[in-house]
Structure 1
């Protein structure tokens, strides 16, 4: 994984992780909307508190698929998922949500797993390269 790939990955995780808590808060009140799915969709689309984070989040999705087309999926997907979870947890914490010790331990274990995957990829592509 080169530095350009790593920067793209960090950007994706920031776009996703920073917007996830805002998507949650922006959708507050949807449970009170009467009607079916179309009424709920209208509620979300006319709520800037949900729509702006959603559009930013989708920019992250666009970058993710662009990165998948150029990099090893078995490395990019787990790394993006774990780093997004870390950023989401930190953002949620800054917005007042509580992170439990179990959640923090789980994040550390997942980060260790991704680090092992990244090391294995590095070892196979750089150290053992013909």
Structure 2
């Protein structure tokens, strides 16, 4: 696996991980959108999100990560791209969430993240 591919996957994980809690914060208030009709409810929620820059901006950055992931898959091994990206995304989401004031992760969560990262490192070293 080439170093550019690994760096691209780390960038994807960073983009996805950092934008996850930002989209969560940006969508706060959607619970107040209430309608009895399902279609009107769906449309109102969609309108709420699309007109809210605090949601739209992180969403667009997140989608840029998806585009980068798509192009990176053409030159990387899928069996390493998916675990590397997903494992690091979880780590970046946890760190970004804590920086934004979300409740801190438990010790068990950190042990789980360490196990995932160790597994990713083992997969990487096996493929090289």
TM exceeding 0.5: yes
Q: Please, which runs of 5 or more residues in structure 2 have no aligned partner?
A: 36-40
Could you list the structure 1 runs, at least 4 aligned residues long, displaced by more than 2 angstroms after superposition.
none
Return the alpha-carbon distance in structure 2 between the equivalents of residues 59 and 74 of structure 1.
22
Return the alpha-carbon distance in structure 2 between the equivalents of residues 110 and 59 of structure 1.
25
Q: Aligned-pair distance for 1:51?
A: 0.2
Return the alpha-carbon distance in structure 1 between the equivalents of residues 46 and 106 of structure 2.
33
Return the alpha-carbon distance in structure 1 between the equivalents of residues 50 and 34 of structure 2.
16
| Bigger RCO of structures 1 and 2 (CA < 8 A, at least 6 apart) | 2
Q: For 1:1-130, what aligned pairs fall within 5 Å after superposition? A: 1-35=1-35, 36-97=41-102, 98-122=104-128
Aligned residues: 122
**Deviation per residue, 1:68-110 (Å, 9 max, x gap):** 1221111001100001111111111111121111111110010
**Deviation per residue, 1:25-63 (Å, 9 max, x gap):** 000011111232111011000000000000000000000
Q: Please, which runs of 5 or more residues in structure 1 have no aligned partner?
A: 123-130
Return the alpha-carbon distance in structure 2 between the equivalents of residues 115 and 12 of structure 1.
17
How high is the TM-score relative to the length of structure 1? 0.90
Return the alpha-carbon distance in structure 1 between the equivalents of residues 69 and 106 of structure 2.
29
**Deviation per residue, 1:8-31 (Å, 9 max, x gap):** 112111111111110000000111
How high is the TM-score relative to the length of structure 2? 0.91
